[in-house]
Amino acid sequence: MLSLHSVNNDCFIPNWQTPLEKIPWNVLVIVLEGKVDYMINNKRLILEPGDIMFIPESSYRTGKNHNHTLHQKYTVLFHLTKEMRDIPEFLTMDDFTKLQSKNFNYIKHRAEKLFMEIRGNNTCNTFICDGILQELLGSIGRELQSSQVNPMKLKYAQTIQRYIVEHYREAIDINQLAKLIHRSPNYTIEVFKEITGYTPIQYIHHLRIMEGCSLLLATDMTIDNLSNYLGYYDASYFSRTFKKFISMSPKEYRNQESTVSSSEFV
């Protein structure tokens, strides 16, 4: 299982550096802007915007700003037990893994969500954060294996995915997505599911429901308003879809958290 320790947003810190040490966690680094110098197990590398690096626990690591310039990045620190099923291969390796992600907007979006969620005070935040982290690691693992996938299929799926991530709260139909890659609707569904494991519609629902979980805990939006905001325009359909993904209704999800929070003061 995963055990999340912390999520940091290093945002243009002057004279940033981290000393040479044997790190007690696994570290996921996601670089947004600028460049970063790292030395990992006596190997030097420079990370640039769009780079993702996984540093396994017990590695020797040091880092600093590249040529005294500033940078912005997310770092995610976590523990991992090997008993997890279907674990991405890169998480089992003893050396670091570096990737220039073709799905970086999506990775950035999920890292931002993880950074915000871990700062919440609600009990369910831990559950949500573990899910986001697992999704992030799984997406990276899938992309690392994508060299075995037909490059054109991968390009099609990435085009569709980028569009969905940017527009998932809007009304999107399969014909609209098919036009993006100039292929038939049936082919669009098949190639996206082959690469991502989701149909386009399942992926849209997934992003909306994860956003809904956050908003239920962080805001006092009504279910009707939340439904409209997420693009459902029918509160009953939103509730049914939410329950299908989370195994409880939006109201039950919010009330359960309220009950837990109130009990802390009894």
How much is the pLDDT for 257?
Answer: 56
Q: Is 187 helix (H, G, I), strand (E, B) or coil?
A: helix
| pLDDT (average), residues 85-92 | 83
Q: What is the pLDDT of residues 24-65, one digit of tens each?
A: 999 999 999 999 999 999 888 999 999 999 999 999 999 999
User: Superfamily for 146-263?
Assistant: Homeodomain-like (1.10.10.60)
The pTM is what? 0.60
Kindly report the average pLDDT of the chain as a whole number: 88
How much is the pLDDT for 245?
Answer: 84
How much is the pLDDT for 263?
Answer: 38
Structure tokens at 243: 């329950």
Measure Cα distances from 169 to 47, 129, 205, 227, 229 in Å: 33, 21, 9, 10, 7
pLDDT band at 86 (very low <50, low <70, confident <90, very high): confident
Range(s) within the chain of domains with CATH label 2.60.120.280: 2-144
Could you tell me if residue 52 is left (phi over 0), alpha (psi between -120 and 50 degrees) or otherwise beta? beta
How much is the pLDDT for 137?
Answer: 94
Closest by CA to 189, choosing from 181, 203, 200, is 200
pLDDT at 258 over 70: no
- Judge: domain 2-144, CATH 3.40.50.300: no
Structure tokens at 11: 């945002």
Range(s) within the chain of domains with CATH label 1.10.10.60: 146-263
